[in-house]
Structure formats: C-alpha cells, structure tokens
Structure 1
Amino acid sequence: MRDATLCHLVTDDDRTLLIHKKRGVGSDQYVGPGGKVEPGETPRECVVREVREEVGIEVRDPEKLGEFEYYSEDWNALVHVYRATAYDGEPTESEEAVPEWFPVRDLPLAEMWQTDRDWLPTVLAGGTFRGRFVYHDGEPRLVEVERDVALD
C-alpha cells in the first residue's frame, strides 16, 4: 500500500481551496491538493511539496487530521489528510490543477468523490477521522469511518 496525502486549506472567512484535477486520480473532479509520498519523504513534507507543485503556494501549518485506506482496481493507498490555515503566495493554475476557493458551507459535492461527504466536513471543522473506502467500477463505497480518533 502506497502513502499519499491531501491538504484542505481553510481561511479565516470559512473558505477552502479545492482543485479541479486535470489528470490522474480524481481527474475532472474537485479534490484537495496532494499526491504520492516519495521515497525518503514524510507525509507532512509531501503535502507541503504537493501543494506547492499543484497550486504554487506554501502551506505553513499543515496539521494531520485524518487518514483513510483507499482501495481500487488500479491503486491502493493510505491517504494522510491535512488541514492548513496559513499559507504564502497566491494559488495559480498548473498542468495538473485549477485552484478555486469555495465557501465551506457550499462545496461542489456533486463534482467531488462521493465519500468526501463522509469525512470532509469533519476535517474542515478541525475534527479528526479514520476511514476505509473501496472503489469498484468507478463507484466509491464507504466501508467504515470513525470520527474523533487519535492519530499518530
């Protein structure tokens, strides 16, 4: 199982930065920036690097608030989910993603992974979670999710 990351940046005025993926896992959907952990890299180092590569900003305070096991026909991963509230720079489009700000209370859920509805509100509010999701024939299925868990 490969390690991967996601980052959800939340501003003081309750907006979050999502990206519209152009390619790869989650393409044509809104997701948080993130990606695969490289050899010798910690998940926290990865999330900072991936946000920089995908949207051109430097998150300063990523805090791990969740993790989920993701199983599909093509790829299995343990995804480390971070929330950040401070950053430097302005989000810009890259070859991989178009960044967009959304009010936390008005997310484009119809254009996101179905399972994001099970855990994303918890992370945006600063809570913790652990889950397991299976994707078969492009359809996500929640196997389990726990909230208010201790993470290492």
Structure 2
Amino acid sequence: MIEATLCYIISEDKVLLQKKRKGLFGEGKWNAPGGKLENGETAEQCAIREVYEETGLMVKHLQFVGNLYFFVEQYLDQVVYVFKANEFEGSVTQGDEGELKWFELKSIPYEEMWEDDRYWLPLLLKGKKFVGKFYFSKGYAKLLQKELYTE
C-alpha cells in the first residue's frame, strides 16, 4: 500500500494544478502537487516537500482536509492525505513532473482529472473536511463505487 499526499494551493479565486507528464502515474491528468511519503516523514512534511519540489513554492499554514482511500480490484492500493494551503512564498517554477497552471475555481477541468475528483474536490473548495473511499477497476481504468463522508 502506498501513502501519499496532495496539496491544493489556492490563491484568491484560483487553484494551482499540474498536468502529469508522460511516463508518470496519472499522466495527462490535472491534479494537485503531491507524492509519496518518504521513510520517517509525516504527511504534512511530505506535502510541503512535494509542493516545493514540483512548483518552487514554499507553502505555509497547511490545512489537513481529508483522507482518500483508493482500492483497485477490492484491494487497498493508496491512502492519500489531502491538504490545502492559502499562503505561500515564492513564484511558480515549472518542474519536470508536468505543466503547472492556475485555474479559476469556477473553471476546474474535471473532465481532464481523475474520475473521483469531481466528488470530493468541491468539498475541499467549500472548506469541508471529508473521507472518501473509491473503488476502481484494474489500472484505475474506471471508477466502480464510491463512499464519501463529510463533517
């Protein structure tokens, strides 16, 4: 099982997303910066590190907003700790993970994102905490079932 993070960086009425380059997990999909926890690292430390490595931004005052559990063929494959940040220092620098782009909150490209994002990302944007369980077919090809809980 993989433990990973996502960190949604929000500035005024925009969110920073990254289109994963070819050859990476999630290639061609827009997603928040994030990645796998390293040995001995907390989820918050991982989110801060991954955002810096992928965007050049140093996030401040991270807010933990939820957990996502991803199952593939009924087996738990990933646990993702989701954060958001409204404060950061630095300016966006394109990294080797993929293209970075600010999207207006009303124009998030859900059709070019993971299928589950359309269910829980609006909760994050409304300031709600959540836990989601998403069941996919082999290779994350199709979302088969979802469970979503909010506070």
In the superposition, the TM-score normalised over structure 1's length comes to: 0.90
Q: Greater strand share, 1 or 2?
A: 2
1:75–1:99 Cα change, 3 Å? farther
Contact 1:7/1:51 (8 A) holds in 2: yes
The alpha carbon displacement at 1:86 in A equals 0.4
Let me know the Cα RMSD of the aligned residues: 1.6
Distance of aligned partners of 1:142 and 1:10 in 2 relative to their CA distance in 1, 3 Å threshold: farther
Q: What is aligned with 1:17?
A: 16
Displacement of 1:40 in angstroms is 0.4
SS at match of 2:118: helix
Gaps of 5+ in 2: none
Amino acid at match of 2:25: V
The residue aligned with 2:93 is: 92
Deviations 1:84-119 (A, max 9, x none): 000111112111121100011110111001110000
Corresponding residue pairs, total: 147
Q: Quote how far apart the aligned CAs of 1:134 are.
A: 1.8
Correspondence for 2:115: 114
TM-score, normalised to structure 2, is 0.91
Distance in 2 (alpha carbons) for counterparts of 1:121 and 1:10: 13
SS of residue matched to 2:34: coil
Write the distance in 1 (CA, Å) between the matches of 2:144 and 2:50. Answer: 26
Q: Does structure 1 residue 139 correspond to structure 2 residue 138?
A: no
State the partner residue of 1:76.
77
Q: Find the counterpart in structure 1 of residue 58 from structure 2.
A: 58
Q: By percentage of residues, which structure has more helix?
A: 2
Partner amino acid, structure 2, of 1:123: L
- Report the AA paired with residue 143 of structure 1: K
Which stretch of the first structure deviates more once superposed, 36-45 or 131-140?
Answer: 131-140
Asked if structure 1 preserves the Cα contact closer than 8 Å seen for 2:69 and 2:76, the reply is no
1:42 corresponds to = 42
Which SS does the other structure have where 1:19 is aligned? strand
Range that drifts further, 130-139 or 33-42: 130-139
Residue type of the alignment partner of 2:92: P
Unaligned runs of 5+ in 1: none
Native 8 Å contact 1:55 1:98 kept in 2: no
- Whole-angstrom CA distance in 2 between matches of 1:110 and 1:69: 21
Letter in 2 for 1:79: V
- Structure 2 distance, partners of 1:75, 1:145, is 16
Q: Give the match for residue 130 of structure 2.
A: 129
Whether the 8 Å contact between 1:115 and 1:141 is mirrored in structure 2 is no
